[in-house]
Structure 1
Amino acid sequence: MATCIVCGAATDGHICDTHEEDVAFEFRGNSPDQLTAGRFYRGSVDGFADFGAFVDIGDSVTGLLHRSEVPGRLESLDWDDGDQVYVQVMNVHDNGNIDLGWSIRQAERDFRGQLVDDPSADSNAQLPEEPEGNGHSADASTETETADGGTPTSESNSEFEFGDDETDADDTPQAGDAGEPNGETNDSQATTDARSSDSEERAQTRDESGAETESASGADEAEDDQDDAAPEDVERVEIASLDDRIGDRVALEAEVVSTRQTSGPTIFELVDETGAVDCAAFVEAGVRAYPDVEAGDVVRLVGEVESHHGDRQVETEELTVLSGENADAVSARKAEALNERAAPEDTTLLADDDDVAAVQDDLVDAATSIRRAVIEGQPVILRHTATVEGYVAGTALERSLLPLVRDEHARDDAQYHYVDRRPLDDAFYTIEDATNDVTDMLEAAERHDEKHPLFVLVGAGSTSESADGVGLLDMYDAETVVVDGGYADDAPAVDALVSPTNDGGNTVNTGALGAQLAALVNGDVREDIRHLPGIAYWTDVPTAYADLAAESGYEREELATLRDAIALEAFYQSYEDKRELITDLLWDETGGSLAEHVADQFRTKLDTELDTAEPHLEPRGEGGVVFEVLDVGEFTHQYDFPPVDLLLDALSRRDDRADVLLGVGDDELRVRSDEDVDVRAVGERVADELPEAGVVPRGARDGRIEFLSGEKDAVTDAVVAAITDQLA
């Protein structure tokens, strides 16, 4: 029985089933049917076609990465013929064709292990051969327990390279570099190799604070004092200072944010209050060092700072998991520095809006939470309604986040890895939505050792309907920020709430509110998003936002065109973010032709549906209040554009004959009116009057009323009476 190179769990081979997708395989077979579907393979680009890219897997087989598998445009891959890439084998057809999937990880360091898929071997998941002449640094031996808690072993640190294959002009390749089996040993390496014969076995002990640590044993300890000072005698330094300490032996106190297993050492990514660094710990090739150390642990690490191809790295000698006051002190330092870094540099509003100014402090708090998530390496999940307001707010936040992510994280795929915009089916964050998010979150944590995301709920999350969903996130300590310009009602407890009505103010267009927040998250995009708030309004764009858009060259007619285009695209494939398409619409470089094309389709479809629905409006008069009722179940196309809410909004704007428009479906009723109608209060009254009708008000004052379909007529009559009394 072997152990998993990622988690150390007992398994039949070198990788357990849970983490098989966390390693990259080198294929040494000669036939497509020898590939294993689901695995990620290293390959090389073999050419391009309009429909995708061809990738060689090993020396004998080639697969197709279809353009539909690429999250952006095909050219966004920035691949050239011959480039080394990573792809996932999705399917191998009987005719030998291979369907490939795109990998968000495009560097060796992004995977948590490297294995060989050799069909001719006893097992097709083998460790790569250790490069000849692999030297070991032995300033101090590396200690670890076995995965089952057995006797600690002692091995020297490996001078093992990972990452790209380029070498700085000033760096001599180190023996044992990954991908450089013939690297020669330099003088520094020879010195450490000469000392390796004197390295001692160490036993793991526990200090008085309860922290796990390592102590030396053996008669030669005094002899090594000159080179191997006790951990407490090594100077603690900040990670940001390591560039100036190449060759020094230092101590770091930081949080482990990720681990990954290479074919040589285990790599721990440490983050303190000043930055992040990779630390390599070696037991033997492909074997997990310190298997009990996990992401989230606060540690003290002693090691030598080295430069590998221009990247700093610490060769780990001793690793201690801190607890109690020691861990709290490290966390407090990090939290204080992160709060200072995360605070927005510019806290002025994007445009003057008194209703937004009333929650400016809440906006700053929300922006700080979002910026801190980026700094700490938390993915940010943007959940917004599939409406114009939701798309404007969500896209504005996405636009502000992407540059921050690219600046903070070096990996090429960071913008896809750390920012994910997911439209919602409804105006609530339901338990179904939360279940999907928690499932993805736990899988990412289990498979990739990923931090729990920060969830930003836009246009949802401020009413009681979202309480169960938000509560599920809270059960897993996932942070939540809610941004909603609509009516709040019994808002669930979240980490940051931006809701003007919750603070006793007026409703605000959620698109404008989200754009204001985006400007605080990243001041560098202010000029880029100035036209977005004006797009979110169907009528009467406030002067402040219209003027702001005009400064960027967008007049009111152009704002209306963009609004109509977004409204149409928000409906189709509503669960997809459509990042590139939405970007093209909102920041079109082609003179507006794309937006005009889509907006024309919107107007044609909407006008057709309006002309179809208007003849079926049923007038009703109660107590001086004029009603018109549309049976949306009978007289609209249920699964075609426009959706019911958008159609009713358009009918309400177009028809000035009625005080109140009711859209009545088979089991739902919606209200549109320029009058002050409290839909929740109406629903609560009808529920009391018709207890057998299963009436449930959904949402706040501007929500809807659900009921049993068999009670449709009775509920409609009761709603009409309740609204009449409200407006009397």
Structure 2
Amino acid sequence: MIRVKKLGGGKNIYDLKLGELYIAWFEKGKLFLNKNVLVRLKSREQPTKDTPVMVKKIIPPNIVEAEKINDEYEIIEEPIEFINLSFDNAGETITVICRIDDIYQTSGPTSFTLFDGTSTLRASAFSGAGKRAFPELKKDDIISARLLLKKREDYLESELVSFKKIQNKDVFIKKLDSLIEKKSQPDKVDFLIKSETLEKLKPRILTIAKEIKRAIVEERPIILRHHADCDGYSGAIALERAIIPLIIEHHKDERAQWFYYKRAPTKAPYYDYSDVTKDLTFSLQETAKKNYKEPLIILVDNGSTEEDLLGIRKVKIFGAKIVVIDHHFTFIENGRSIVDNYLDAHVNPYLVGGDKNITAGMIATEIARFINRKVSNIYFIPALAGFGDRSRGNDFEQYVELAMKAGYDKDFLKALSEAIDFEAHYLKFIESRGLMDDIFGADRDRQHKLVKLMKDEIESKRAQQLETIKHFIRVEDLGRFVLAKMEIEKLTHAGDFPSVGKATGLTHDYLVRKYKKDVLTLSIACNFITVRATEGVGINVNIIIHELKQKIPYGFISGGGHENAGSIRFVEAVRDEVLKFVEEKVKNWKVKN
């Protein structure tokens, strides 16, 4: 007699292994492993009853080719786990050992949140309107619960019929820890491209993927903070498309995504203190109201610089976990970044000798696949992020090829990246999950219409802006490169598109085309300078800022960015000193061979 498995109702083809034996049940002339998986017999024999089969081939999205087994069999019942329950189980009564994670008294029944190490399930018990049922039960009690499963609207819940307290908690807690560790493991996938830098970053990438999966299993709210530009949004949306399905699966409730996940853009290219305060305020309120754990904060396209330190250190005081996915220049000493001592995990290509050309959006997309191998509609995102941040090199070209296979050509990716920057400019701090989801291709028809709509407006505004700047810009040919300076506040409309950074980039590109040589562009304001430079100029904005702090300690100097694209901030009183230092510095900058 052979022993065969019964595939759980919540599982699909990705949970199967070739060569394993399963019971296939017969219905309406077809065989199924469960409602999600259709069986096709290799022999093409017409089935007539339930039969054991051996999985021979997996055919996405929902078919397996199998060989019929004629031996006598017995079914191995899998242990009941919340994660495997589905609407098919409604009406069944099950017994599960679990922990009470929360108790909430409504005006009707008492609501219990139960956790068995794989997922949570809501259970209710009624002993009178507004009257506490089973008052002897307390939060964190371990019980053997007898539950009647019920379908309610679009989620599964249960009725707590009876229970027995488990006195020896150690065995269950040990099992719970083991299950959490198992479910937190990164999925086994390969990188989307061949990349030496990504391979070097892999241990760090796996650590972040594990931290995010663990947060979902532990029901730790996730706050995703990202830079409000195309690269930042790209990384955030890729992660979002991996995280939200797992949250819904874990809680068996579509609404859980709005309670356990929040995404917020930030205008500053670092974890701004005001954003830190907003995140902590939100988190502390939720903890007080709903007894949530401290959050996991994910920083995308920022988090690696000295400017991030204050915010990072503050959230750590309140017990939050924090991970960083970034590609901005970071000062490294003895193989560690200045922020590493305060982070739970950190991925940045500079940590392994790479550079900005592998962007945060690219890295986040790779991490998304280690979080959730079933994540979809993200293969174009790394190339999009690259166009948004002007990436170059073989890694970028490989991602472009991948995007083209997904139906995105180069011209559309470039137009899409500009549309995202345009939308981000006006969204400011708003999450706008539905709108950004459509712009990122959840609805391809609407995506194309939005890009077409924005394209004409973007081109018109850019043309007007460039015409203004061309009239007033001051250009000096220094031989090795062209130096261009403009009083940017006098040439742009505050709050309108393009922003100072975009206007500077637009001007810089025009000058490179016009002079066909290296260019350094300085957009000068009363208390900041925005810098753009071609690589041949050889500057590093971050080093200049570091030296300015020493040279002009009374100037309240700050700022950062990439080596050849960033901003320097200062008090207005030292503007002329800063400008003089920057000009002298770049004129005498020694270019690395």
Q: TM-score range by the shorter chain?
A: 0.7 to 0.9
In the alignment, which residue of structure 2 is the partner of 1:672? 532
Q: Partner of 1:536: helix, strand, or coil? A: helix
The CA deviation at 1:662 is: 1.2
Which residue number in structure 1 is paired with residue 432 of structure 2?
Answer: 578
Would you say 1:663 and 2:523 are equivalent positions? yes
Corresponding residue number in structure 2 for 1:515: 365
Of 271, 286, 301 in structure 1, the residue corresponding to residue 143 of structure 2 is 301
CA gap of 1:308–1:691, structure 2 versus 1, over 3 A, is closer
Post-superposition Cα deviations, 1:120-151, rounded to whole Å, max 9, x if no partner, equal xxxxxxxxxxxxxxxxxxxxxxxxxxxxxxxx
> 1:715 is matched with which residue?
578
> How is 1:465-544 mapped onto 2 (pairs within 5 angstroms)?
465-489=307-331, 490-492=338-340, 493-507=342-356, 508-526=358-376, 528-538=377-387, 539=390, 542-544=396-398
Q: Which amino acid aligns with 1:654?
A: Y
Q: Are the counterparts in 2 of residues 342 and 371 from structure 1 also a CA contact under 8 Å?
A: yes
Determine if contact 2:438/2:447 at 8 Å carries over to the other structure. Answer: no
Give CA-to-partner distance per residue, 1:254-302, whole Å, 9 cap, x none.
2x333221334432212122333345567764245688987xx532225
Secondary structure in 2 aligned to 1:436? Answer: helix
Between the aligned partners of 1:261 and 1:484, the Cα distance in structure 2 is 43
Task: Choose from 375, 391, 394 the match for 2:217.
Answer: 375
**Distance change in 2, residues 1:299/1:388 (3 Å):** same
Letter aligned with residue 386 of structure 2: Y
Amino acid at match of 1:252: I
Query: Is it true that 1:646 corresponds to 2:502 in the alignment?
Result: yes
Unpaired runs of at least 5, structure 2: 1-78, 332-337
Q: Are 1:547 and 2:407 counterparts?
A: no
**Which one-letter code corresponds to 1:643 in the other structure?**
S
Q: Tell me the amino acid that sits aligned with residue 507 of structure 2.
A: L
CA distance in 2, matches of 1:683, 1:240: 51
Q: Mapping of 1:694-705 within 5 angstroms?
A: 694-698=556-560, 701=563, 703-705=566-568
Higher helix share: 2
CA deviations over 1:677-705 (Å, ceiling 9, x no partner): 12222123233333343333445745422
**Which residue among 291, 305, 322 is the counterpart of 1:463?**
305
Report SS of the residue matched to 2:304.
coil
Q: Which runs of 5+ in 1 are unaligned?
A: 1-235
Cα deviation, residue 645, structure 1: 1.3
Structure 2 partner of 1:362: 204
Indicate which of 463, 472, 475 corresponds to 1:619: 475
How do 1:63-78 and structure 2 match up within 5 A? none
Identity of aligned residues (%): 25
1:633 correspondence with 2:495: no
Is this contact kept in 2: 1:479–1:494, CA < 8 A? yes
2: CA distance between counterparts of 1:467 and 1:357? 27
Cross-structure match for 1:392: 234
- Aligned ranges 1:100-249 → 2 under 5 Å: none
CA distance in 2, matches of 1:239, 1:552: 35
Preserved contact between residue 481 and residue 494 of structure 1 (Cα < 8 Å) = yes
Contact 1:350 1:519 in 2 (8 A): no
Alignment of 1:445 with 2:308, yes or no, is no
**Which moves more between the two structures, 477-486 or 613-622?**
613-622
Query: Which one-letter code corresponds to 1:720 in the other structure?
Result: E
Mapped to 1, the partners of 2:301 and 2:525 lie a distance apart of 24
Q: CA deviation at 1:246?
A: 6.9
Q: 1:376 to 1:687 in 2, by over 3 A?
A: closer
Report how far residue 676 of structure 1 moved: 2.8
SS of the residue 1:383 aligns to: strand
Q: 1:620 to 1:712 in 2, by over 3 A?
A: farther
Is the Cα–Cα contact under 8 Å of residues 90 and 150 in structure 2 kept in the other structure?
no
Q: Partners of 2:391 and 2:97 in 1: how far apart?
A: 57
**1:279–1:315 CA contact under 8 A, matched in 2:** no
**TM-score, normalised with respect to structure 1:** 0.61
- The 1:435/1:350 distance shift into structure 2, 3 A limit, reads same
Q: Is the 8 A contact 1:305 1:312 kept in 2?
A: yes
Question: Counterpart of 1:346 in 2: which secondary structure?
Answer: coil
Structure showing greater Rg: 1
Q: Does 1:337 align with 2:163?
A: no
1:298-343 Cα deviation digits (max 9, x unpaired): 32225544445685443455658x8xxx766644432322232232
Name the SS of the counterpart of 1:613 in structure 2: helix
| Structure 1: distance between partners of 2:430 and 2:469 | 29
RMSD, aligned α-carbons: 3.1
Structure 1 residue 437 displacement after superposition = 0.7
The AA in structure 1 aligned to 2:418 is D
8 Å CA contact 2:328–2:561 kept in 1: the answer is no
Structure 2 counterpart SS, 1:662:
strand
- Contact kept, 8 Å, 1:629 with 1:662, in 2: the verdict is yes
1:685/1:722 contact within 8 Å kept: no
TM-superposed CA distance for 1:608, in Å, is 1.6
CA-to-aligned-CA distance 1:57-103 (integer Å, 9 cap, x gap): xxxxxxxxxxxxxxxxxxxxxxxxxxxxxxxxxxxxxxxxxxxxxxx
Local SS of the residue matching 2:505: helix
- Separation in structure 2 between the aligned mates of residue 564 and residue 241 of structure 1, nearest angstrom: 43
User: Is 2:145 the partner of 1:270?
Assistant: no
> Could you list the per-position Cα deviations for residues 558-583 of structure 1 after superposition, in whole angstroms to 9, with x for gaps in the alignment?
11121111111010021112222222
Checking the alignment, whether the CA contact within 8 Å between 2:439 and 2:446 is kept in structure 1 is no
Q: How far apart, CA to CA, are the structure 2 residues paired with 1:401 and 1:631? A: 44
| Cα displacement (A) at 1:392 | 1.1
Distance change (3 Å), C-alpha of 1:427 and 1:374: same
1:384 CA drift (Å): 0.5
The structural deviation recorded for 1:610 is: 1.7
| Helix, strand or coil at the partner of 1:525 | coil
Residue identity matched to 1:530 = Y
In the alignment of these two chains, the number of paired residues is 484
CA distance in 1, matches of 2:170, 2:345: 24
Distance 1:304 1:451 in 2: 27
Distance 2:198 2:463 in 1: 34
Indicate the SS of the match to 1:298: coil
Cα distance in 2 between the residues matched to 1:524 and 1:251? 28
**Does 2:252 correspond to 1:415?**
no
For each residue in 1:642-697, what CA deviation from the matched residue of structure 2 results, as whole angstroms up to 9, or x when unmatched?
11112222222221245311121110112211233122221232333333433334
Compute the TM-score of the two structures, normalised by the length of structure 2: 0.74
Structure 1 segment 563-574 matched on structure 2, within 5 A: 563-574=417-428
Q: 2 CA distance for matches of 1:724 and 1:305? A: 76
Q: Does 1:690 align with 2:582?
A: no
- Give the AA of the match of 1:556: K
Contact 2:149 2:158 in 1 (8 A): yes
Q: Secondary structure at the match of 1:612?
A: helix
SS of the counterpart of 2:427?
coil
User: Is the 1:623–1:724 Cα contact (8 Å) retained in structure 2?
Assistant: no
SS of 2:374's equivalent? helix
* Aligned equivalent of 1:258, options 87, 102, 110: 102
